[in-house]
Amino acid sequence: MADTPKVNLTIEGRPISVPPGTNLIEAAKQAGVLIPHYCYHPGLPVAGVCRMCLVEVEKAPKLAPACATAVAEGQVVHVHSEKARDARKGVLEMLLINHPLDCPICDQSGECELQDYTYQEGRADSRYREPKRFNPVEDFGGDVLYVPNRCILCTRCVRFMGDVAHDEVLNVSERGDRAFIGKFEGKDLTHAWAANVVDLCPVGALLSKDFLNKARAWELDRTASVCTGCSQGCNIIVETRDNVVMRFRPRSNESVNQFFMCDEGRLGYREFNRPTRLEVPSILGPKGHEAVDWDVALEAAARLLRGKRAYVVASPDTSNETLHLLGRLMRKSNGVGLYRVPQGPEAPLPGAPDLALRVDRAANGRGAEALGFTRSDTPFSGLKAGDALILVDQDVTGADLAAVGQASAVIVLASWMPAGLPRAEVVLPIATTVEEEGTLTNLRGRVQRFMQAKAAPGLARPSWFVASDLLGATGESAAYFTAGDVFAAMSAAHEAFAGLSYDTLGMRGLPIAGAMAGATA
Amino acid sequence: MGYPHKPHPRETVVLSEHFGAAEARSLDGWKTRGGYQALQQALGMEPTAIQQVVKDSGLRGRGGAGFPTGLKWSFMKLGDGKPHYLCCNADESEPGTFKDREIMRWTPHALIEGCAIGAYAIGAEDCYIYIRGEFTEPLEVMERACAEARAAGVTGPNAMGSGKTVNVWVHKGAGAYICGEETALMNSLEGKRGNPRIKPPFPAVAGLFGMPTTINNVETLAAVPHILNKGAEWYKKLSRPDNPKSTGTKLWSVCGNITRPGNYEVQMGFPFGEFLQDLCGGAPNGRKIKAVIPGGSSVPIITWEEAESALMDYEGMVAANTMLGSAGCIVIDDAQSMPKVIARLARFYAHESCAQCTQCREGTAWTTKILERIVAGDGTAEDFDTLLSIADNMTGKTICVLSDSCATPVVSGLQRWKHEFEALITRTTIHAVPALVG
Amino acid sequence: MSHGPSASGGAALKGGHHGSGDPHVPVFTGETRTKLDDLVTRYPNKQAALLPALWMLQDARGWVSEEGMAEVAQMLDLTPAYVQGVVTFYTMYHQHPVGKYFIQVCTTSPCGVCGAEDVVKAFLDKTGCGELGVTSPDGKFTVIEVECLGACGFATPVMVNADFLESVTPETVPDVLKRYG
């Protein structure tokens, strides 16, 4: 809203103009200044209770809580003045008097805001000489464990469950220094989005049981990605250690998932660690599958495709780039492309706009559709005798095997051998979503990039790379060196993707042409 | 002598005139004493005209903050199409204060009349009298009087035949000092934890149920009918003419080490020394008054020397290094241990902290632990610096002033009676208690 | 959840977490239900009737059990956890069963300087409770210290259930107890 008059103020000597109503924490962020805070979170109603964000505002009689103070014209704000720093030092000392200081055994260590701010501006010692408060650890149900001794009562978790999840199962119980986060006996954190309280907790009080004691925060490599659990396309961070995915966490994107991701998506990381990966290309020989060089395998596949109608059944988690290249293969042979979308019950997050675990449990159905693929619950039913079947990360469990058997050949591009497949002439091992780069188009038509978080095993190659090589082996021109090159070719070829590029998409994505006007997701 | 005794000749008896008279509790008894004439009159006036009379009288809030009542009422935007609310703060919980209890016990209709006038003057149809749960007798009396007034058509729809709706309801608290803080009171009334709210928004903009709301103390509202009956000028003339900022009479609760404890109503600006010695009889058993907390436990503790020459109004108490507060006067004689008194006060605040703000939740408890350790003979000299530093961290940094209130007796006490604390120090270092880890 | 050392937990009640074990008999039926329905009309929303509803529950059952909280929650369209947060905020709702006579002695400073500690001691001795928050062996009495009862000029004020007694001294404690024999 460019025509709304802006408010001009100065924060730490930096002039800045922001829309009226902006609070000082957000205004400071835009000025490149971090105001320390605990209870404030942009996705939750303001509580103003931790008192960590106290700043000095010139002409104000008292220090102001930056979270609950709106910008005003001509305001001069000092975040790091002596008065403000002393106040925050006081808060930090108070927060630590009853804290067990058990960082060496705490999962939050390394990504703990209590550690960070104490290191940054807290006291070097404690003057507390009294016995500490002690409360036992409590299983909150779902994936959440509560360690009350580390709790700073910021109430982010209570506000999330009440105001965002609309499932008020947490409370603040008791008062004074006896207060703790309470949960009613028998009512657990079973809401489909409950595990967000673990991310929201700025300290080590709410922990993921799944991640408990598994890794230290500083051992993890973090990569921006997109969740493939459903068609919502929540932005995530893939966290890996030693080439193993340790956890998924939400990455904020106001247009898609705010700051959150659902529990099902969160635990979806396990899929990517499944063993028995396809690591080398192979072809079916007289003595069964034989490992071969990529060139040999690709040529064998091209030979099998020659003169045949390509019948492609691709997983709807496959990237836009790979689907685009497979689409070329289809069209070259007057073939067809199909995809089947697994489904599950929808689970909305009521306090966030247009955010839900969607019925369609696939990340790129919308992209597949835009790229000429057809959705079908029985994708093999149209297979005609003599068609060359190309399976892309698609199992055939429950499919009509007789129909599959009519194929002249079966070429598999997959990370794991498709379950239930009676035979495959050529198997081409591809990387998973967390091992390659690409884009996905969510249910509202938003095209979003995902990055490579870990190395693919053995000789497995990115799916777009394999698809372009396969296209090349059939005599087509398909010399792409990066996923971005493929994307550029796709946006030139498909009206829906026209004008988009990796650069313009950035890390938050853009809607495809013709996506619902004003769509928020 | 004030209630429960007969009034002392030097008292100026207005609000407390009928304290102890059982028949004044009934609607008829109240009417024969001139009751509800002011309401009848008010309902025929423009709300802004009532506000003006109250403004002219100089009446200030009797709950502790001393904000001008008429001005507060004028913040309510009349005719904005929203429901307005009046809350009567009858959560009287400030240690040392027990004046509102007597108003409710003996003159319930005075309060109902004040509530009805106040509600009408701010454009509210509903007034809730929030009474602390421990006040079982005042609750019973007020419930009965409210029902009586409603049944007689004094309140309710068409109050006193005026065609105007003024409902007065009693709402029972359940044990929380902090609900005397106006925004905590509103939260409690809404069925929430009694957590104070961040201001702004101020209650006059978004208060009870998110609507424009005024909160007034019992004593403040009970004074309003008298002001309407006899006029603003009469009210101003009750007090000393040399200080126009504090007008009318004030009820003082006096307790602790005092010969005649009770409620006294004196003109604003009455000499404090004479009050304590002559009206209240000084310290009992021939002892001397050592310390006085004039305005409820949240104001600075002063010495007898400071109190002796003070004047009993808002400005006079500030001049004596303390505050009028709720006028709950706690007297401490020379047989008492100041560290013990202060430690017990700190414990009160630690018990009552709502747990929202870090400095208050942790600071009140920490302060209490240190003070109790000192009282137990386990203190060290470094504890004094720590206490003052904690007090500084607890002052002016939280949503409400409970935290400040805990720091106040500590700071004022340490300033004046440090020798008493030092006398308790017997060791030079303290053994750090190992942390429990888990 | 149990509590470790805290500055002000002296008056905390010691008791089993889940109460008596008797099945919860609904409170809000018949007349009580009508009374609550009537009360709700005083406010613009149901939630505002929470404190009064909890009082009705405690008046009927003597304490506020988790099952009781769940019933109140259902009556007012709230969640049990929300109600629990509110119940635990206010000291007058008993989260555990207490003796037939619940004795609260004010010991805040104004009463403290008038000898309230001795009144507490007298009650603990004469009731057989021995310890704060512990119910006497005959189930009759529970004694706790309470923060300022707002009757400081009548030291020491004592509440026995809803009876508000003024000017209690150690000497008058036996007489007080006789009334609740």
Alpha-carbon span C47 to B192, nearest angstrom? 8
- Identify whether A300 is part of a domain: yes
**Residue A207 exposure: Cα atoms within 13 Å on the Cβ side:** 28
Q: Which of C40, C132, C146, C152 to mutate to test the interface with B (most CBs of B within 10 A)?
A: C152
Asked if B287 and B334 touch (Cβ cutoff 8 Å), the reply is yes
Q: Which positions 14-43 of C are in contact with B (Cβ < 8 Å)? A: 42-43
Going from N- to C-terminal start, the domains of chain C cover: 26-87, 101-179
The per-residue pLDDT for B398 is 98
For residue A516, pLDDT beyond 80: no
CATH of domain B22-236: 3.40.50.11540
To which H or E segment does residue A125 belong?
Answer: none
Chain B residues in contact with A50 by the CB 8 A cut-off are 357-358
Residue C45 touches partner A, C-beta closer than 8 Å: no
Instruction: Search chain B and give the residue with CA nearest C44.
Output: B209
Nearest CB among A48, A94, A176 relative to B355 is that of: A176
Interchain proximity A51–B359, CB inside 8 Å: yes
Residue C4 touches partner A, C-beta closer than 8 Å: yes
Asked whether residue A377 falls in the same domain as residue A463, the answer is yes
Q: Which of A404, A408, A450 is nearest to A431 (CA)?
A: A450
Chain A residues in contact with B401 by the CB 8 A cut-off are none
Q: Which of B130, B309, B174 is nearest to C92 (CA)?
A: B174
**Residue C143 exposure: Cα atoms within 13 Å on the Cβ side:** 23
Asked if A127 and B386 touch (Cβ cutoff 8 Å), the reply is yes
Q: Write down the architecture of domain C101-179 according to CATH.
A: 3-Layer(aba) Sandwich (3.40)
Alpha-carbon span A217 to A115, nearest angstrom? 13
Q: Which of B181, B361, B389, B405 to mutate to test the interface with A (most CBs of A within 10 A)?
A: B361
Domain count across chain A:
3
The per-residue pLDDT for A520 is 44
Asked whether residue A391 falls in the same domain as residue A483, the answer is yes
Beta strand A409-414 with B167-172: parallel, antiparallel or unpaired? unpaired
At position B138, the amino acid (one-letter code) is P
To which H or E segment does residue C164 belong?
Answer: strand C163-165
The CATH fold of domain B338-422:
de novo design (two linked rop proteins) (1.20.1440)
Q: What is the reported pTM?
A: 0.95
Q: Which of B361, B346, B350 is nearest to A151 (CA)?
A: B361
The per-residue pLDDT for A517 is 44
Nearest CB among A162, A172, A187 relative to C80 is that of: A187
A41-53, pLDDT tens digit by residue? 999 999 999 999 9
Interchain proximity A185–C8, CB inside 8 Å: no
Residue B330 touches partner C, C-beta closer than 8 Å: yes
- The residue range of the domain holding A465 is 282-511
A199: which residues sit within 8 A by CB, 6+ positions away?
A249, A250, A259
Helices (H), B75-217: 99-106, 108-121, 136-151, 182-189
At position B80, the amino acid (one-letter code) is D
> What is the CATH classification number for the domain harbouring A467?
3.40.50.740
Interchain proximity C90–B369, CB inside 8 Å: no
Tell me how crowded residue A270 is: count the other CB atoms within 10 A of its CB. 11
Asked whether residue A348 falls in the same domain as residue A240, the answer is no
Mean pLDDT of chain A: 96
For residue B2, pLDDT beyond 70: no
At position A461, the amino acid (one-letter code) is R
The per-residue pLDDT for A403 is 86
Asked whether residue A292 falls in the same domain as residue A263, the answer is no
Q: Which of B110, B317, B144, B334 is nearest to B224 (CA)?
A: B110
Specify the length of chain C in residues.
181
Alpha-carbon span B100 to A356, nearest angstrom? 54
Nearest CB among B174, B332, B344 relative to C93 is that of: B174
A252-285, pLDDT tens digit by residue? 999 999 999 999 999 999 999 999 999 999 999 9
- In DSSP terms, C142 is beta-bridged to C102, C135
Final residue before a domain boundary, out of A273, A306, A322: A273
The CATH fold of domain B238-333:
Ubiquitin-like (UB roll) (3.10.20)
The residue assigned the tokens 């109050």 is B159
Asked whether residue A352 falls in the same domain as residue A500, the answer is yes
Kindly report the backbone phi and psi dihedral angles of residue A161, in degrees, each rounded to the nearest multiple of 5, phi listed first. Answer: -65, -35
- In DSSP terms, A392 is beta-bridged to A314, A413
Residues A223, A227, A229: CA angle, nearest 5 degrees: 150
Asked whether residue A145 falls in the same domain as residue A240, the answer is yes
> What is the CATH classification number for the domain harbouring A63?
3.10.20.740
Alpha-carbon span B86 to B216, nearest angstrom? 8
In total, the C-beta contacts within 8 angstroms joining chain B to chain C are 167
Min CA distance, B126 vs chain A (Å)?
29
For residue A4, pLDDT beyond 80: no
Asked whether residue A166 falls in the same domain as residue A86, the answer is no
Nearest CB among B4, B95, B172 relative to C152 is that of: B95
- How much of chain A is in helix, strand and coil states, percent to nearest 5? 25, 20, 50
Chain B residues in contact with A68 by the CB 8 A cut-off are 198
Final residue before a domain boundary, out of A242, A273, A304: A273
Min CA distance, C18 vs chain A (Å)?
10
B66: which residues sit within 8 A by CB, 6+ positions away?
B60, B314, B324
Beta strand B84-90 with B124-131: parallel, antiparallel or unpaired? parallel
Nearest CB among B193, B363, B433 relative to A130 is that of: B433
The per-residue pLDDT for C174 is 96
Beta strand C163-165 with C158-160: parallel, antiparallel or unpaired? antiparallel
Alpha-carbon span B103 to A476, nearest angstrom? 96
Helix, strand, or coil (residue A510): strand
Asked if A410 and A421 touch (Cβ cutoff 8 Å), the reply is yes
Asked whether residue A298 falls in the same domain as residue A247, the answer is no
- How much of chain B is in helix, strand and coil states, percent to nearest 5? 45, 15, 40
Residue B164 touches partner C, C-beta closer than 8 Å: no
A399-to-A130, A361, A376, A383 alpha-carbon distances in Å = 69, 19, 12, 12
Interchain proximity B261–C147, CB inside 8 Å: no
pLDDT category, A2, cuts 50, 70, 90?
A: low
The residue-averaged pLDDT of B267-288 equals 97
Helices and strands, counts by H and E, chain C = 7, 4
A240-to-A216, A245, A270 alpha-carbon distances in Å = 11, 4, 12
Asked whether residue A376 falls in the same domain as residue A339, the answer is yes
A297-340, pLDDT tens digit by residue? 999 999 999 999 999 999 999 999 999 999 999 999 999 999 99
Using a CB–CB cut-off of 8 Å, the residues of A that contact C are 130-136, 138, 148, 162, 167-178, 180, 182-185, 187
B150: which residues sit within 8 A by CB, 6+ positions away?
B156, B167, B168
Chain A residues in contact with B366 by the CB 8 A cut-off are 94, 97, 128, 130
Interchain proximity C8–A178, CB inside 8 Å: yes
Give residue B402's Cα distance to chain centre.
Answer: 14
Asked whether residue A250 falls in the same domain as residue A308, the answer is no
Specify the length of chain B in residues.
438
A9: which residues sit within 8 A by CB, 6+ positions away?
A15, A16, A18, A27, A71, A72, A73, A74, A75, A76, A77
Instruction: Search chain A and give the residue with CA nearest B348.
Output: A176
Final residue before a domain boundary, out of A230, A254, A273: A273
For residue A476, pLDDT beyond 90: yes
Q: Which of B193, B222, A121 is nearest to C85 (CA)?
A: B193
Min CA distance, C16 vs chain B (Å)?
22
Mean pLDDT of chain B: 95
B24-to-A72, A477, B42, B136 alpha-carbon distances in Å = 54, 103, 22, 19
The residue-averaged pLDDT of B315-329 equals 97
Min CA distance, B247 vs chain A (Å)?
28
Nearest CB among B93, B253, B332 relative to C113 is that of: B332
- Identify whether A116 is part of a domain: no
Asked whether residue A161 falls in the same domain as residue A230, the answer is yes
The per-residue pLDDT for A401 is 86
Show pLDDT as tens, one digit a residue, over chain C (181 residues).
444 455 554 344 444 344 455 788 999 999 999 999 999 999 999 999 999 999 999 999 999 999 999 999 999 999 999 999 999 999 999 999 999 999 999 999 999 999 999 999 999 999 999 999 999 999 999 999 999 999 999 999 999 999 999 999 999 999 999 999 7
The residue-averaged pLDDT of B321-342 equals 97
The CATH fold of domain C26-87:
Arc Repressor Mutant, subunit A (1.10.10)
Helix, strand, or coil (residue A467): helix
Going from N- to C-terminal start, the domains of chain B cover: 22-236, 238-333, 338-422
The per-residue pLDDT for A20 is 97
Alpha-carbon span A200 to A311, nearest angstrom? 46
- Identify whether A520 is part of a domain: no
- Identify whether A407 is part of a domain: yes
In total, the C-beta contacts within 8 angstroms joining chain A to chain C are 73
**ipTM higher than threshold 0.90:** yes
pLDDT category, B27, cuts 50, 70, 90?
A: very high
Q: Which positions 86-105 of B are in contact with C (Cβ < 8 Å)? A: 92-98, 101
Asked whether residue A376 falls in the same domain as residue A229, the answer is no
- Identify whether A109 is part of a domain: no
Asked if B7 and B1 touch (Cβ cutoff 8 Å), the reply is yes
Percent over 90 (pLDDT), chain B: 95
Contact partners for chain C, using 3 or more CB pairs closer than 8 A, are A, B
Chain C residues in contact with B101 by the CB 8 A cut-off are 150-151
